[in-house]
Structure 1
């Protein structure tokens, strides 16, 4: 049994930030627990190699999720140092100021969070020098330039910095890539302080349950190499395992909906109905187009020979298509002109995906194509997560509940029609031969929603399963302390009660930075 001041569960975006900040004082003992291994795979460094990491159970958790009766999909999350920042699409987006301001009554408004982002970022378009090194890869392919020109024809402002304002805009993606290499949370925050003698990192260590004595979290029981060990925390236990693993660990520890826990054979410590409820997730709907003539990445990356050439180019120069984020171009747009701000985000790239094959990483079509993902930015459909077994190594039951609300269905339908308008306009329209996915058969509202369920997939942005709030029924308070258990805090995407307009890696990083100040008593908010 080892003793520490802080025990942090999860070495992803939040956990790496917390390990860095909480171990600054050499007199403070910090333990960071990660179920996966070190981030030594060469595919971590190669930006476009993310699909290999996502499909490998050694580097990604594979959670089964129900999207409709009898219909299932797999949600991947990072299972290595760096967490999902080591396997994600590398899109960095702060989220809209208006969405942060909706959290201002909880102390998380834009006036608080905006300066934190500025402190974190090393951005080529800004006068910043933070630990997260970012890049914007411009001019990646002529097709991308034509997408940008077409967006401008529709009235979207072309932006060199997509986070500069919250209006309708289109531009190249801001990515966690520097000099052609992926920048993970571990690169930015953990590896630079790895040698601190007061910081211990335990890899291949699965958190089994929380240790609670007299109403206080005093540690975590873990499994490591077939042996169970208790690690005790004198100050706090901090859950930073993400919006799926954190509520699961709370539930197997007896903190959650009493009926759910009893049905799973877990003794009830604290009846908290909202643990695992309120799950929100993006559902990108893909539209693909066949090009009328050669172009794009398919020819370069759609065959073993093309992939080998791209790999050699990356090894020699850290350039080429393998040095780019998951998709090249992003846009934040309004689904209808009467709206006051964007409610849809798009991701576009000059390639098209081949039909998925079981057990295979993402593959590209041989014929030239384009891909655009249309996503409801702020979905309000809510799913749930519930344990079915006391062992946290048994996947929980996840119900996605996509498109459950009239709002989400309307915005999704409008998003698809907006994408079709984009690719029927201006310079890019001259490149298009046909829409191949979902295809011309999907025209009515219901046909489009069904296409979203059939061809779409999770956005890897789950939130809300331990949402913060001021009411006694909320899982955590505005300081992210778990109600009903002293010495226990949650710091990850699960505490967000609503999406903050875009992708979640950057918001979680900033959230963890501020949480460290709260933990250390450096702010009274």
Structure 2
């Protein structure tokens, strides 16, 4: 793998070295004759806090590893603007996320297929999840072994979390062992993308070993301005990109371009390239290459409602991290055995539940943490507490991502429109009330939980909607802004080719027509695995077609 600053034309150029881009680079370069260039706006993943699991606290909001986006002021969040982390480093968001291994529900993918996207049903995608997986329990009908994407159990336990799990069982949310069999309803401990207490990001998983491949070029610190097109044919054809390298713009050529810049980056690049809503492009003076109203539309995200409970008689991270002796103890546990609180994912215990009994499947996800803080980035509280974050999994609200200017250094306008639909407000009310029922269960009574946020005074439907707006925040799962399908707002087809454009694909979470029922990193890897298989299949058939044409030409020449 070369890092040289002179770039030959590639067969495939991939924009974005997040989970999708890293996997694609490995799979597509397996043919030594196929040249792959992988372009990343951020730098190397050599920042130590990337690799210590609790280091996400120092990576999110850090321009070394995060784009540091913000949303617009959200009406549904009572006028608040949220920080909107997205990874800007090798490994992308897998270098700063919560490390939770989650596929979602079978019904998510069956619904994609029902929308007309052939081959995206659960039975078709399950082998793709298994292909890249290296599950700690070994190979089974549901899990893979020997793949690149390591999955392990967590390495630290908390008494208060076990009590919450018992409380869930008392509230008809049974204990289960695995969230990833197609039906994740129940309560369990999250499995995580770690190897022996160290974060396992996509860069480690898929880029390691590519140094021996002469046909792979990795370009870091290269912010992509736009896709370049050849417009001489019947339809525009992607032929490369224009990127800022070392303060100057440079074009990189390719036979095919794949955008894997994520649900914020990919639509922004398309819009700057002249592929997007005509009104927006005209307003910004960008020549229209292809009018596509769906580019940047259909933004979906999981809103987490962070409910905080003060407890008595239980140890939580608040007290441990609040003293120098506690911090030294945590450091010693980690350095000596890769165990203890520093190995923690942001959430350890999970639960999937129905907001109402008539829901067809679990539509809420809990992330339960033995800690609390006023807001992300602020110090932990100085009293023992736990946080029960609950996410409505199937938001009806839809938002947008739109660029503000042609200049790629200008952050896009991100408008999730949380709680803008009545159904989302109804589910939020139900989610808060269900959380209160769980916490009131006998299993937690000995800890005398006291609701700190939003607080017991919030009771009526109107008050709980207001409370949801006050305590709601993103859990970092944006998807859908270049959705797959055939309708007028679809951006890509079911082979992830951009409608109306030749030699251009989008392969990342932005292609999801609807959000999956859980964390979105591993579904994004599955999307890339499927895209790689389709691209390799097309390459195979092209080679056969070329060979057939050559034989026909030779035969005709011989006959003449």
> Number of residues paired by the alignment?
519
CA positional deviation for 1:304: 5.1
188, 200, 206: which one aligns with 1:183: 200
Deviation at 1:160, TM superposition (A): 1.8
Displacement after TM superposition at 1:339 (Å)? 2.2
TM-score, structure 2 length as denominator? Answer: 0.90
Question: How far apart, CA to CA, are the structure 2 residues paired with 1:52 and 1:288?
Answer: 22
Q: CA deviation at 1:433?
A: 3.7
Task: State the match for 1:137 in structure 2.
Answer: 154
For 1:145 and 1:273, the matched residues in 2 are separated by 48
Structure 2 contact 156–343 (Cα < 8 Å) conserved: no
Give the alignment of 1:214-229 within 5 angstroms.
214=231, 215-229=236-250
User: What is the aligned counterpart of 1:77 among 72, 78, 86?
Assistant: 86
> Does residue 1:253 correspond to 2:273, yes or no?
yes
Instruction: Give SS of 1:233's match.
Output: strand
- Could you state the TM-score of these two structures normalised by the residue count of structure 1? 0.96
1:55 aligns with 2:61: yes
State whether structure 2 residue 450 is matched by structure 1 residue 434. Answer: yes
| Equivalent-residue separation in structure 2 for 1:462 and 1:165 (angstroms) | 21
Deviations 1:432-484 (A, max 9, x none): 34100111132222322222222221121111111010235411111110011
- Alignment-derived partner of residue 194 in structure 1: 211
Q: Partner residue of 2:557?
A: none
Partner residue in 1 for 2:18: 12
| Distance in 1 separating the partners of 2:537 and 2:257 | 16
Secondary structure in 2 aligned to 1:111? helix
| Contact 1:123/1:135 (8 A) holds in 2 | yes
Q: CA RMSD in A?
A: 1.7
CA contact 1:423–1:432 (8 Å) conserved in 2: no
1:517 aligns with 2:533: yes
Mapped contact 1:244–1:385 kept (Cα < 8 A): yes
In structure 2, do the counterparts of structure 1 residues 16 and 167 end up closer, same or farther at CA, with 3 Å as the change threshold?
closer
Q: Please say if residues 309 and 453 of structure 2, whose CA atoms lie closer than 8 Å, have aligned partners that are also in contact.
A: yes
Once the two structures are TM-superposed, the CA of residue 123 in structure 1 deviates from its matched residue by 1.8
3-state SS, counterpart of residue 486 of structure 1: coil
Q: Tell me if the contact between 2:179 and 2:185 (Cα under 8 Å) persists in the aligned partners.
A: no
Is residue 123 from structure 1 mapped to residue 144 from structure 2 by the alignment? Answer: no
Aligned to 2:190: 173
Give the corresponding residue for 1:274.
294
What runs of 5+ residues in structure 2 fail to find an aligned partner? 1-6, 542-560
Matched, 1:243 2:263: yes
The whole-number CA distance in structure 2 between the counterparts of 1:512 and 1:323 is 28
Q: Which residue of 2 aligns with 1:400?
A: 416
**Alignment partner of 1:350 is 2:370:** yes
Greater displacement, 165-174 / 393-402:
165-174
Q: Which residue of 1 aligns with 2:123?
A: 111
Give the CA deviation at 1:385.
1.1
Instruction: Give 1:126 deviation, angstroms.
Output: 4.6
Q: CA deviation at 1:261?
A: 1.5
Mapped partners of 2:226, 2:264: distance in 1: 15
Moved over 6 A (4+): none
d(CA) in 2 for partners of 1:162 and 1:379? 20
2:28 corresponding residue in structure 1: 22
State which drifts further: 150-159 or 279-288. 150-159
**Alignment partner of 1:68 out of 64, 74, 89:** 74
Shift of the alpha carbon at 1:312?
3.0
1:145-201 superposed Cα distances (whole Å, 9 cap, x missing partner): 111111112222212212134153100011111200001011111123233111111
The offset of 1:246, in angstroms, is: 0.4
More off after superposition, 295-304 vs 369-378: 295-304
2:102 matches 1:93: yes
Kindly state the Cα deviation for residue 294 of structure 1 after the two structures are TM-superposed: 4.3
